[in-house]
Amino acid sequence: MPSEMDRKRNIKLTISYDGTNYSGWQRLPKATIGDRSIQGLLEGLLSEVLLEPIKLIGSGRTDAGVHALGQVANFYSRSNLDENIIRQKMNQVLPEDIKIIEVNEAPFHFHSRFDAVEKVYQYIIDTRERENVFIRKYSYPCGKVLDLDAMRQAANLLIGTMDYKSFCTDRRDGKSTIRTISEITIEELRQNRNQQGVILTFRGNGFLHHMIRILSGTLLEVGIQERSVQSVGQAILGKKREYAGITLYPQGLFLKQVIYEKNR
């Protein structure tokens, strides 16, 4: 006879959400009243749809106000409900700012966090004199034209395997701050030959707390000529938070993709 664990399925979700009205991805402590986390909301609704307690394993946390185009999570279930039916039923009951994009059965030992090879984040900066009223909740209002050549030179210094201690909220747990960033791209958004905004895209094997927002703030300071390209290299070597730039607001940050295959 198969064991109880053998009868379970491992279900993988790909999720998009607008993080504006939420406390972030991570579920709050069980005793907390008014949990506004994405994880907590999804677990509650999945439990109702599948008629069993569900605990979600997320690929990683997103902070309050941060959005996701392709967050990934998995959970174990005894339900025999078809994956497409799970997706349909969940999207019927979810609020309009959260959507299940895909539901797939994964190998039993798949882990959405530990099996992730790389993640891709994007940060949007609005460079209009006055921010666009329709994307103001999804971008940082800069209001200045940015020097993209200088920003790209600075970004090149940030690519590689190195200690990013200057580019994260101070860690007191003693864990490593060494990460690998494989790619940083800076794309200009133009209209009628005028710069309207900039999209910063970061691809790496993992990111520290607030790391993308601090990297983006540092590159922004280079772009508005409040910081030199050379100072970015000095910030890497200095390994202190004060050597890097400001922490940009969360609303401009998106988790774009979680990658599980090295050749993608």
Q: Which residues belong to the active site?
A: 63
3-class SS at 33? Answer: coil
What is the distance between the alpha carbons of residues 196 and 125, in angstroms, rounded to a whole number? 9
What is the distance between the alpha carbons of residues 102 and 112, in angstroms, rounded to a whole number? 14
Bridge partners, residue 195, by sequence: 190
3-class SS at 241? Answer: helix
- C-alpha 240, offset from chain centre: 23
| Contact present, 120 and 256 (Cβ < 8 Å) | yes
DSSP 8-state secondary structure symbol assigned to residue 31: T
DSSP 8-state secondary structure symbol assigned to residue 138: G
Buried b (16+ CB within 10 A) or exposed e, 151-172: bbebbebbeeebebbbbbeeee
Show the tokens assigned to 15.
Answer: 């999720």
Please report the sign of the dihedral spanned by the C-alpha atoms of residue 47, residue 40, residue 117, residue 13.
positive
